Amino acid sequence: MKSPQAIEALGALANEHRLAIYRLLVQAGPEGRPAGAIADKLDMPASSLSFHLAHLTRAGLIEQRRESRSLIYSADFAVMNGLVGFLTENCCGGSACAPAASAKRKAS
C-alpha cells in the first residue's frame, strides 16, 4: 500500500458513523449487508449513509454489489491488512521488536 491510499483509508475510518458502518460490515463478513439494513441499524438518514458509504468505497475499504433492488456492501479485508502492514513497516528500524509487530489479534 502507498501513502496516499493509506491516508484515504484512514480518513475514511476517522469518523464516528463511517467507523460504525465499517465495523458493522466487518462483523457481517463476506455476505455483507444492504444499505437499507445499515441505515436501519445505525439510525441515520439515507442520504447521509450514502455519503459515508461512498467515502468508504472510494477508499477501497468496502465493496458494493447489487442484488435485485438492494445494494449490498461488504468489507474488503485485504485493504485493512495492507493498511496495517503499511503502518508497522520497518518497525523499529527492522530489528526485532516483539511488542509492536507481534500484536495479539483476536484471530480466534
Partner DNA sequence: GCATCAGTTCGATGATACTGGAAATATCGA
Partner DNA sequence: TCGATATTTCCAGTATCATCGAACTGATGC
From the list 19-27, 39-47, 77-85, 88-96, the region that binds DNA by CB under 7 A is 39-47
From the list 10-18, 19-27, 81-89, 98-106, the region that binds DNA by CB under 7 A is 10-18
- Residue 33 to residues 16, 36, 64, 78, 108: CA-CA distances in angstroms? 19, 8, 10, 18, 23
Nearer to a copy of itself, 54 or 91 (CB): 91
92 binds a copy of itself (CB under 8 A): yes
Identity (one letter) of the amino acid at 31? E
User: Residue 45, Cβ neighbours under 10 Å: how many?
Assistant: 9
Beta strands in 2-69 (DSSP E): 33-34, 62-67
Distance from chain centroid for Cα 89 = 20
37 binds a copy of itself (CB under 8 A): no
| Closest CB 58 distance from a copy of itself, rounded Å | 14
7 binds DNA (CB under 7 A): no
Which listed residue (1, 6, 53, 56) binds a copy of itself by CB under 8 A? 6
Q: What is the DSSP code (8-state) at residue 43?
A: T
